[in-house]
Structure 1
Amino acid sequence: MLVLSRKAGETIWIGEDIEIVISEIKGEQVKIGIRAPRSIDVIRGELRQDVSKSNTEAILKNMDIFKPKK
């Protein structure tokens, strides 16, 4: 993991087409802006975990249809 220090108004570039902008810092909260092509999905980490968990649960429920009936 690369860890960088930035001040409000400073940026970080990822490749040629993704820019991270530090827009505001208040106490322990940092507001960031992300400029990226529309073809790139940007999602918060906790939402990604929730979606992954939901997908796993759905798969497990669907697997029940393959179990032999008693």
Structure 2
Amino acid sequence: MLALTRKKGESLMINNDIEITVLEIRGDQIKLGVSAPKEVPIYRKEVYTQIQQENKKSAGVENAQALNELFN
């Protein structure tokens, strides 16, 4: 993990097309702005984790059995 120190208004670049800017610092909270191409999905980690769990459920054993029955 790369740890950086940034002040309000400062940015960091990821690759050539993703910019993360510190917009506001208030107590122990930081507001970030992310500028990236539309095709780059951006999620808060807790939302990303939920999506991954739902995808695993959807691809679960029940669906595999249903697909087997459909094609056999």
TM-score (norm 2): 0.81
Cα RMSD (Å) = 1.6
Deviations 1:6-63 (A, max 9, x none): 1111100111111100000111110000111112111111111001111111222313
Q: In the alignment, what sits opposite 2:32?
A: 32
User: Match of 1:33, SS?
Assistant: strand
Matched, 1:5 2:5: yes
Structure 1 residue runs of 5 or longer lacking an equivalent are none
Count of paired positions: 67
**Runs of 4 or more consecutive aligned structure 1 residues displaced over 2 Å after TM superposition:** 63-66
**Percent identity of paired positions between Structure 1 and Structure 2:** 36
Q: What letter is aligned with 1:2?
A: L
Q: In the alignment, what sits opposite 2:64?
A: 63
Q: Distance in 2 between matches of 1:37 and 1:56?
A: 27
Structure 2 residue runs of 5 or longer lacking an equivalent are none
Give the C-alpha shift of residue 64 in structure 1. Answer: 4.5
User: Match of 2:47, SS?
Assistant: helix
TM-score (norm 1): 0.83
User: Match of 1:30, SS?
Assistant: strand
